[in-house]
């Protein structure tokens, strides 16, 4: 399923969402232009590694140096599919959440969801030495917030079928829980494959789960305190 847009009107330009999308593309172009050994060093340095957080002294880092990678890792991506997949979801859902939170709070929320996702990944795979990169945890948090704040919205979605592409409007209250369950079950499968000891190379599914739940929880508090309407 590829989300194209949602049906909710917005009341201000999604400035921060556009800047985040642009920044991720610019950084990715930079990754393409530098040499392979250099980009490997950049990912190893600025990507987030769970075991580097749980045992920073073993890596020759301070806890503060490792903490910085919780943020820098959000702006690195591992390929075109990784980048475009994340940016499509950010572009589609980010504007509605930014509209409600405001520009500054939305940016802080984006970073906090990414950090929460990485920490959830660490809880499951504390010994992993595989660098985790990408804004998936942040975007998962935005999806969780969208579900709470705009449950009555409809998502215009593109479906790749065997011989053609179909388009339909899917209720957010269906689209987003299905997306979450896919992340959860894939995360459970990755945990079984790793037998609970060390992460196997692949998608950090538990960062998606953690980011989504964190984003939904924050949005629930925002909705309760400000009485945000569920539509319009």
Going along the chain from its start, the domains and CATH numbers come out as 2-226 (1.20.1540.10)
Edge to edge, the sheet with strand 154-160 lists 2-6, 154-160, 165-171
Look at 106-120, 152-166, 211-225 and tell me which has the smallest mean pLDDT: 152-166
Percent of the chain whose pLDDT exceeds 70 = 92
CB atoms within 10 A of CB 37: 8
pLDDT score of 188: 84
pLDDT score of 186: 87
pLDDT score of 203: 74
pLDDT score of 228: 58
pLDDT score of 196: 47
Task: Give a three-class secondary structure readout of the chain.
Answer: CEEEEECCCCCCCCHHHHHHHHHHHHHHHHHHHCCHHHHHHHHHHHCECHHHHHCHHHHCCCHHHHHHHHHHHHHCCCCHHHHHHHHHHHHHHHHHHHHHHCHHHHHHHHHHHHHHHHHHHHHHCCCCCCCECCCHHHHHHHHHHHHHHCCCCEEEEEEECCCCEEEEEEEHHHHHHHHHHHHHHHHHHHHHHHCCCCCCCCCCHHHHHHHHHHHHHHHHHHHHHHCCCCCC
Mean pLDDT rounded to a whole number for the chain: 90
Q: Which residues share a beta bridge with 2?
A: 158
> Which pLDDT band, with edges at 50, 70 and 90, does 13 fall under?
very high
What are the tokens at 179? 């997306």
42-63 per-position pLDDT tens digit? 999 999 999 999 999 999 999 9
> Which pLDDT band, with edges at 50, 70 and 90, does 230 fall under?
low
Q: Measure the CA–CA gap between 52 and 93, rounded to whole angstroms.
A: 32
**Which one is predicted more confidently, 205 or 199?**
205
Residue 201 has pLDDT above 60, yes or no: no
165-198 per-position pLDDT tens digit? 788 899 999 999 999 999 999 888 877 766 544 5
77-127 per-position pLDDT tens digit? 988 999 999 999 999 999 999 999 999 999 999 999 999 999 999 999 998
């Amino acid at each position: 399923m590829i989300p194209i847009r949602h049906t909710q009107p917005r009341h201000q330009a999604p400035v921060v969402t556009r800047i985040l999308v642009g920044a991720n593309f610019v950084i990715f172009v930079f990754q393409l232009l530098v040499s392979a050994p250099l980009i490997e060093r950049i990912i190893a340095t600025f990507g987030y590694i769970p075991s580097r957080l749980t045992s920073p002294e073993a890596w020759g880092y301070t806890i503060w140096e490792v903490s910085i990678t919780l943020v820098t890792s959000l702006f690195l991506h591992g390929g075109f599919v990784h980048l475009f997949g994340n940016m499509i979801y950010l572009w589609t859902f980010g504007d509605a959440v930014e509209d409600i939170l405001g520009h500054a709070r939305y940016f802080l929320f984006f970073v906090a969801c990414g950090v929460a996702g990485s920490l959830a990944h660490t809880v499951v795979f504390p010994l992993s030495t595989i660098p985790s990169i990408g804004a998936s945890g942040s975007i998962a948090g935005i999806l969780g917030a969208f579900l709470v704040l705009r449950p009555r919205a409809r998502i215009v979605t593109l479906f790749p079928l065997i011989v053609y592409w179909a388009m339909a409007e899917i209720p957010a209250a269906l689209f987003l829980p299905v997306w979450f369950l896919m992340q959860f079950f894939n995360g459970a499968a990755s945990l079984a494959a790793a037998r609970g000891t060390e992460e196997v190379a692949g998608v950090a599914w538990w960062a998606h789960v953690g980011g989504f739940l964190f984003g939904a929880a924050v949005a629930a508090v925002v909705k309760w305190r400000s009485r945000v309407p569920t539509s319009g």
